[in-house]
Structure 1
Amino acid sequence: MRSWFLLAAALLPSAAAAAGHDVSLGATAVILTNGGIYNVTSPRLGLEAAYSNELGSWRLGGGIRWAPAGQGSFPVEVFARALLSPSLGTWRPAVGPELGLSGLPVVINPRGGLPDDLSRRHAEKLGPAYVALHAAPLRFVFQRFTASALELQWGTSLNQPGSTLRLQLGLVHLGMTL
């Protein structure tokens, strides 16, 4: 029995390295809008920390985003994603769905004689859960390091799909395989 434990202890570090556990940090810009009263046109700049595990051509993982600029009670998002990422030499583009919980949506109080309860009605449409399509067309891997720029994300809230639009631009992400 002891020999099995020694064999597992010897193989686990190499299996973890072969599995492609990646951590990354990056800068991002998020725009949330519904095209109406809640129409935020300026992006919220933020930071993102992510983890992913490579399983064949899939990258499964998640992370956290912090976007302190702008209004809002809790400017944090937590997300999980599954990205299809073919290996094409050093170029490793990725695309797939992302699910998350967001504290970023805020309702701007209307101006110009609109009803007082309009903000409350718009807030009801903005649930904290969202779904998005995430694409990283400019993602590259150099030995143990990854670099990605101009990632794009397009999505909506799950409370009332289509009632809000979520656009995100990943400015730059730098990562490392553990």
Structure 2
Amino acid sequence: MRPWLLLTAALLPGAAAAGHDVSLGVTAVTLTNGGVYNVTAPRLGLDASYAYELGAWRLGGGLRWAPAGRGNLPVEVYARALLSTQLGRWRPAVGPELGVSGLPIILPPEGGFPDDLSRQQAAQLGPAYVAVHAAPLRFAFRHFTVSALELQWGTTLNRPGSTLRLQFGLVHLGVSL
């Protein structure tokens, strides 16, 4: 057997158990910077995702569509790498997510604020973000997966910490291919 094949098998012990998973879910996203741009009402949307299961890792990405509310193009594209474990049917997962969002909404200032406040607020809300994604209530039933109450906490990349991003995955239903 070739040495590189043995090395690959040693480094990727779960490669033989790799699988594909697609899911569709309902999510709620809240973006805020604590200032004038302080939208506390979550935007409901749909989340379609793909994951390639490789041992304990779930590598993949997806697309979110949140049409409610004013603002830019209401779409997000993301990639994530989740570390998962298996305890019976329970399959919790946690890991980083990197994405590009069109969801930030700049509200026009009211009540004596400077005219350039919207431009200053827009500078804090870049489209790229990084977040920690956790799916503590994820379960597998044969070829199907169900996940509820997923949580995501993150910030924009252009000025980390200037914006808070919270997302709640209400429910996701998936199938393993």
Q: How many residues align?
A: 163
Q: Tell me how far apart the structure 2 counterparts of residues 33 and 105 of structure 1 sit (CA, whole Å).
A: 9
Unpaired segments ≥5 residues, structure 1:
1-15
Listed as ranges, the gaps of 5+ residues in structure 2 are 1-14
CA distance in 1, matches of 2:66, 2:170: 13
Runs of 4+ aligned structure 1 residues displaced above 2 Å come to none
Amino acid at match of 2:49: A
TM-score normalized by structure 1? 0.90
Structure 2-normalised TM-score? 0.90
Correspondence 1:26-65 to 2 at 5 A: 26-65=25-64
Give the Å deviation of 1:88.
1.0
1:18, distance to aligned residue in structure 2 (A): 4.2
Aligned equivalent of 1:25? 24
Using the TM superposition, give the Cα deviation of residue 73 of structure 1 relative to its aligned residue in structure 2, in angstroms.
Answer: 2.2
CA distance in 2, matches of 1:57, 1:17: 12
Output aligned runs, 1:87-166, within 5 Å: 87-166=86-165
Identity of aligned residues (%): 77
Distance (Å, rounded) in 1 between the aligned partners of 2:71 and 2:44 = 14
What displacement does 1:87 show?
1.1
Q: In 2, distance between residues paired with 1:101 and 1:157?
A: 9
Cα-Cα RMSD: 1.2
Q: Which amino acid aligns with 2:88?
A: G
CA–CA distance in structure 2, aligned partners of residues 172 and 62 of structure 1: 17
Which residue matches 2:4? Answer: none
Q: For 2:113 and 2:173, locate their aligned partners in 1 and report how far apart those are by CA, in whole Å.
A: 45
CA distance in 2, matches of 1:110, 1:98: 32
The SS at the match of 2:123 is helix
Q: Secondary structure at the match of 2:73?
A: coil
